[in-house]
Structures are given as structure tokens and as C-alpha cells.
């Protein structure tokens, strides 16, 4: 008589990415990144209103690229840290989750009103730089209005998640992150990389400061994969990383070449202006 043995099914563990490695799971970590995201939005507003927080030359001032990259990265960390409970169409919410989500929205609404008041204040401060219109009154450029509108939209999307991340308790042991470093040390490393990237971009007036932040994310992802018993980088990921590094280096080279060309052009124009302004003897 033959004995039938049931086949055992083995499940491959999910591949750990840098997103998993930087996801905050404790309340303290989520509060740190909630405050960090609010600070990033304030720096975005400062780069729109004040030229000292922008990069580029006097004729080509633009928002630092590190802020544009860091805002969605930190927001994604908070969304994963709160298990995306603020999504209105979340399919797997129990009564406790629904109550926490609704409470977060109730807290976020008055905070959004304060943000709109602050945006109107920024608008009033920008009026001296507005362009006088053909009729009575002052008119802002469309770029400034679009920037203020996007800033309010970023706050509106963030505030429910931020309120939930601030109030939620620590995750269970089964929901801990796949990080190779303790959470306080990981937050310190990533926070220092972000602060250094912003400072470097503003001091150098270029987007070269993005590199330390990207390098920190890559390092934390590799450590997370190693802690999960996975290779630090698969063959396919190696090729993608190599292509990404080459593209970043090419973009940096183009940016440096363009900046050097602009400085040379300005120097030549100043020299020609001085020479033309000199009085020729006997003329």
C-alpha cells in the first residue's frame, strides 16, 4: 500500500528594498520623520519666496532638486509606517483602524486651515514683487500662484498621514522593519545625509548635494537586504544601479559644463563692456 505524502509548498521571502529598510515602525521614528516632512515643506516655501534658498544663477534660480526628491521619499516612509490607513478606499480596515483614520482627518482639517492662512500671508509678502496690472491692483505671475497652490496641496495630502503617524503606537514584532541598523541609528544616518545634502546644495548653489542622500538610501537598502539574508545586490539590480550612477554622473557633468560656460560668457561680456566704455585717446 502506497502512502501519499502531501507536497510541501515553500514561499520565497519578498525581496527587501530600500523602501522596506527605511520604513519607520516605532512611534518615536514616525514622529521624527513627521517633523522632518513639515520642515521640508517649509523649505520648499522658502525656496519660492526667498532667493537665498534657491540654486542656480541670478537669472536662472530654481528649486533645489534635493527638496523635490526628499518630499516624496519621506512621505512614502510615513505612508508605509502607518500601513496606508489614511487611504479612503483601504480594503482591510477594522473598526480600530477606521476610528484612527477618521480621527486623523478631524485633526488634519484645522491644521490645513492654518496652512492656508500661512499661504495667504506668503502671498501678501510676495505682492511687493508682483507686476502692476493694466488696471488698479497687482498681479502675481502664474508660476508663483501655481507654486502656492501645489504647496497647499502637499500639506492637504500630508496632514492626515502626519497626524496618524504622530499618534499611532509602535508596530508589533512581526511588522518590524527589515533594516540592518537600529532605528535611532538609521534615522540619524539618513537625517544627517538629508541635512548635508540640503546644506551642500544651498552653499554650492547646485544640485550636487543630492548624491549623499541617494548614497545613504542605497547603503541602508543594502544593509537591510543583508540583514534579511539576501544578497546585498542582485545581478539585475547591479545593472540598474550602474546605469543610474552613469546617468547621474552624466547629468552632473552637463550641469557643471553649463555652469562653467555661463560664467565664461558673463566674464567675456563684462570684459567687452569695460573695453567699450573706455575713452579712446584722440577720439
Q: Give the torsion through C-alpha atoms of 101, 102, 106, 112, to 10 deg.
A: 50
Distance from the Cα of residue 109 to its chain's centroid: 23
- Cα(149)–Cα(151) distance, integer angstroms: 5
Please count the CA atoms within 13 angstroms of the CA of 238 that sit on its side-chain side.
Answer: 5
pLDDT of res. 72: 92
SS3 content of the chain, % helix, strand, coil (to 5): 70, 0, 30
pLDDT of res. 148: 78
pLDDT of res. 176: 47
Tell me the whole-structure pTM to 2 decimals.
0.70
Helices 65-81, 27-49: crossing angle, 10 deg rounding: 150
pLDDT means per 10 residues, the chain with 283 residues, are 51 69 89 93 82 67 83 91 70 76 88 87 64 51 73 89 87 54 89 91 82 87 78 64 72 68 57 52 47
Q: Are 218 and 193 in contact (CB under 8 A)?
A: no
pLDDT of res. 3: 55
Look up residue 53 and give its DSSP letter: G
Which three cell numbers, joined as nine digits, stand for 205?
A: 548653489
- Cα(196)–Cα(29) distance, integer angstroms: 20
Instruction: For the chain, give the longest Cα–Cα distance.
Output: 123
Please count the CA atoms within 13 angstroms of the CA of 157 that sit on its side-chain side.
Answer: 15
Q: Are 166 and 26 in contact (CB under 8 A)?
A: no
pLDDT of res. 74: 92
Amino acid at each position: 500500500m502506497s502512502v501519499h505524502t502531501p507536497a510541501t509548498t515553500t514561499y520565497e521571502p519578498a525581496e527587501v528594498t530600500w523602501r522596506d529598510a527605511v520604513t519607520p515602525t516605532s512611534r518615536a521614528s514616525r514622529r521624527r520623520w513627521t517633523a522632518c516632512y513639515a520642515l521640508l515643506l517649509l523649505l520648499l516655501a522658502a525656496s519660492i519666496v526667498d532667493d537665498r534658498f534657491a540654486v542656480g544663477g541670478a537669472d536662472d534660480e530654481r528649486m533645489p532638486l534635493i527638496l523635490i526628491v526628499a518630499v516624496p521619499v519621506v512621505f512614502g516612509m510615513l505612508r508605509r509606517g502607518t500601513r496606508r490607513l489614511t487611504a479612503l478606499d483601504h480594503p482591510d480596515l477594522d473598526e480600530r483602524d477606521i476610528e484612527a483614520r477618521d480621527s486623523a482627518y478631524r485633526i488634519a482639517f484645522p491644521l490645513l486651515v492654518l496652512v492656508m492662512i500661512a499661504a495667504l500671508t506668503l502671498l501678501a509678502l510676495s505682492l511687493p514683487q508682483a507686476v502692476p496690472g493694466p488696471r488698479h491692483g497687482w498681479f502675481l505671475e502664474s508660476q508663483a500662484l501655481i507654486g502656492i497652490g501645489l504647496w497647499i496641496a502637499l500639506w492637504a495630502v500630508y496632514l492626515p498621514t502626519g497626524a496618524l503617524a504622530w499618534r499611532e503606537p509602535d508596530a508589533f514584532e512581526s511588522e518590524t522593519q527589515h533594516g540592518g541598523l537600529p532605528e535611532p541609528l538609521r534615522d540619524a544616518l539618513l537625517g544627517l545625509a538629508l541635512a548635508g545634502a540640503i546644506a551642500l546644495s544651498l552653499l554650492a548653489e547646485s544640485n550636487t548635494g543630492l548624491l549623499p542622500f541617494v548614497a545613504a538610501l542605497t547603503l541602508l537598502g543594502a544593509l537591510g537586504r543583508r540583514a534579511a539574508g539576501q544578497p546585498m545586490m542582485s545581478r539585475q539590480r547591479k545593472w540598474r544601479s550602474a546605469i543610474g550612477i552613469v546617468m547621474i554622473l552624466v547629468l552632473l557633468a552637463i550641469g557643471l559644463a553649463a555652469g562653467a560656460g555661463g560664467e565664461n560668457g558673463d566674464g567675456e561680456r563684462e570684459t567687452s563692456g569695460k573695453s567699450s566704455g573706455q575713452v579712446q585717446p584722440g577720439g
